[in-house]
Amino acid sequence: MVADKDGLIVARNHNIDQTIGKYLSRPSLDARGRGGSGIYYGQNLEGIPIISAYQISPKTGWSVHFGVPLVIYQQPMAELKRVIVVGILLTSLLTMAFVMLLLKEIKRRQTQLTLLEQKNRLESLGELTGKVAHDFNNLLFVIMGNLDLIDKTPSSRPKDRLTAIRMAAERGARITKDLLAFSRGGNAEPKVIELNEHIRNLIMTVRERFSPNVEIVFDLNESSLFVEVDDVQLDLVLSLIL
């Protein structure tokens, strides 16, 4: 579109008969008022939103205007925005899916490693426990057999010594039983015992460890104290102290 220095349209490539001799639209006139050249938004004479570029001749004051409908002008950018948005959404979804799968795989591997470590530890401990239990059981068989012979044969040894030895052997038999049960996957069962009496009996079985000039003094609760505990595990703990 071409307009003279007063803003009257002298040439146009669309609807020439209806527009020749008319004034430019208000956005076009405002743009011309700023002089020189530039770009402006507005509507053409048919009311269609457009973006226009213009140039004013410094010699004649006439101007040339070139307008493009906004729909056409913005279509590539709109398509690009849609592509970017869709790409961002797909990338986010794929990233989330990848992270979830990665976390799931890490958790699965950690679980497998934990189970494998526990299995190997239990197998090793079970094999060791079974071997110790069988060896200990063979030793107890010899001890118990000799005790029976001593008990049936007249001897000058004190009876309490034989009683202490027998109690130690019987305690060892219970430990062996629990070790064998553990090697097969069994669990020890707690039971109610009188703690003071249990400690006295345990001291009697380990008295031989001490020198004859060592005096053992009990400082126990005067009243009976019943506890529910695994007596074998209790003996192991007390043996560490003694």
Q: In which band, very low, low, confident or very high, does the pLDDT at 153 lie, cut at 50, 70 and 90?
A: low
pTM of the model as a whole: 0.34
Chain position carrying tokens 């202490």: 164
Cα dihedral value 137, 142, 147, 152, nearest 10: 130
Tell me the average pLDDT across 220-225: 83
What tokens were used for 180? Answer: 């064998």
Q: Are strands 49-56 and 37-43 parallel, antiparallel or unpaired?
A: antiparallel
Write out the E strands in the chain: 2-3, 9-11, 37-43, 49-56, 63-69, 191-194, 226-229
Domain with CATH 3.30.450 in the chain: 2-71
What does the pLDDT look like over 89-120, one tens digit per residue?
Answer: 888 888 888 888 888 888 888 888 888 888 88
Domain 2-71 sits in CATH at: 3.30.450
Planar angle of CA 190, 193, 194, nearest 5 degrees: 155
Is residue 26's pLDDT more than 70? yes
For residue 99, the model assigns a pLDDT of: 87
